[in-house]
Structure 1
């Protein structure tokens, strides 16, 4: 059913005159007559009866009018769901407890009037494809992974360097340290079952291992952060890395320790990615917020892989 004919029918019903409906729709009276006639042919009924003062609805027209209004409302909602100025800003934060989620929460607190839709995609290839297709508006990622440069239509900006911390149980040999140098971690077993080959975080930790001779084990199934914390708390031989801005909660009895890593301090670089032609007005607000709250990058005494974009 042609929505223009439905819209014309509603306008004529409200006005009671084809001439006034034509003025409201900015078309000719002849165009109104043709649209109404086309709708009547499509429905197989008469919708209007002529009167000396204009037109009035027939019984069929009266029955059709509320449904016609609902058709127009549904159409308006459908259009609004994909218009950039009417739909939520869709942002990928990878995981709910990570630094990117914290950055987006801070943006929401600063701009509570901007509606957000938060998604969690797995790897950078999936995120880039979603940005290019318009499924999402932006994604927080580490870029650019070796061998996988960003497409020309994808822009990025570095928004935060997140320091790594060592997480140990209370019986670990390093549990009492106030900080630990990277070199001192050589020989200790660091367990990270969440590392998946081909991801940007796998590329990051591969370079970290190569640079400092560390031992990172990714064996065993990944049952999530709660299971990881349970194992680290109960196993003195194991430790793990976590981002300094990760928000984790564990039972009091675990006695876990978060220990800063220094000399140099490994930092995980988070960048915001978006499509260069994305018109969503809230995307500009997010970028401005991140630029205003961003901390310095590549500070003295820090380490990050050589492939990370400087800006």
Structure 2
């Protein structure tokens, strides 16, 4: 099987569009389309259908995606087995638009000579499995259990608390507020279709909802960020929650509002996870950089789940 075609398929599935996949892979959009078409021909199925904002996985595409990821991970393990100690520092982030990617960009600016590979795995369990296998060097994830309960040889340290904000459209009842408390969100519908049961981010938002009596809905298909923003912009009753450092872009006429949450401020607890016996020299530099940044954090007036304290 053509692994370049498999890589193009996975990139398009993650980005939700061929253009975004082309940017991630540093190839042309035409090349992505050609590779995916070749893979579809080889498999004799359609993997994507066209949508107004990009592409959507078919049922066959959804079934093939986890196996495609396994193929690419097997390729990475095979390559790493013949170049120990020579590859770039490989770090998993929860999303390329989210706070951990910002933390890595800051590290790269401070250490431009350090080569980095940035990957996105599904959840914390997948990240820990990849750390144990040696296919990644570190991961930014929320850790929902005590560090002593992590697998032998796996260590974690909380490195960044990211404030959570409310995002509404212009007709929402809270759209004119400069700041609201979490308690004031009770009774308002918060829609987050990207939440997947059993993941660390689901555990965070479940704890947030339980603590403050919120209604957080994960119903309906997750078509990606842009359709979510379109729905929020048009709705007088739906809002969503986003991280302070989540990079979002929307049309000016959507007039979306990012509203500060305070008294207390919910923060998402990002931790760095790594394997204790990993000798990669850049891992030590990354941990030192994040430790210095963490020292400047002020945790006063914040809330995070009990499992993160």
- TM-score w.r.t. length of structure 1: 0.71
State whether residues 81 and 87 of structure 1, in contact with CA within 8 Å, keep that contact through their aligned partners in structure 2.
no
Instruction: Specify whether residues 81 and 165 from structure 1 end up closer, same or farther in structure 2 by C-alpha distance, changes over 3 A only.
Output: farther
Q: Which residue of 1 aligns with 2:111?
A: 111
**SS, match of residue 306 in structure 2:** coil
State whether residues 91 and 117 of structure 1, in contact with CA within 8 Å, keep that contact through their aligned partners in structure 2.
yes
Please give the residue correspondences for 1:1-80 in structure 2 after superposition, counting only pairs within 5 Å. none
Q: Which residue of 1 aligns with 2:129?
A: 129
Q: Distance in 1 between matches of 2:303 and 2:129?
A: 29
Q: Which residue of 2 aligns with 1:82?
A: 83
Q: Distance in 2 between matches of 1:89 and 1:206?
A: 33
Deviation per residue, 1:210-246 (Å, 9 max, x gap):
1110000000111111111111101111000000111
- TM-score w.r.t. length of structure 2: 0.72
Q: Which residue of 1 aligns with 2:282?
A: 282
Q: State which structure, 1 or 2, has the greater radius of gyration over its C-alpha atoms.
A: 1
State whether residues 154 and 276 of structure 1, in contact with CA within 8 Å, keep that contact through their aligned partners in structure 2.
yes
Q: Distance in 1 between matches of 2:117 and 2:217?
A: 35
Q: Distance in 1 between matches of 2:217 and 2:80?
A: 49
The answer for unaligned runs of 5 or more in structure 1 is 1-77
Q: Which residue of 2 aligns with 1:258?
A: 258
Q: Which residue of 2 aligns with 1:150?
A: 150
Q: Distance in 2 between matches of 1:201 and 1:267?
A: 12
Q: Distance in 2 between matches of 1:286 and 1:211?
A: 34
**SS, match of residue 245 in structure 1:** coil
Q: Distance in 2 between matches of 1:145 and 1:79?
A: 30
**SS, match of residue 183 in structure 1:** helix
**SS, match of residue 300 in structure 2:** coil
Q: Distance in 1 between matches of 2:263 and 2:208?
A: 13
**SS, match of residue 196 in structure 1:** coil
**SS, match of residue 97 in structure 2:** coil
Measure how far apart 1:298 and its partner are.
7.1
**SS, match of residue 161 in structure 1:** strand
Determine if the alignment matches structure 1 residue 234 to structure 2 residue 234: yes
RMSD: 1.9
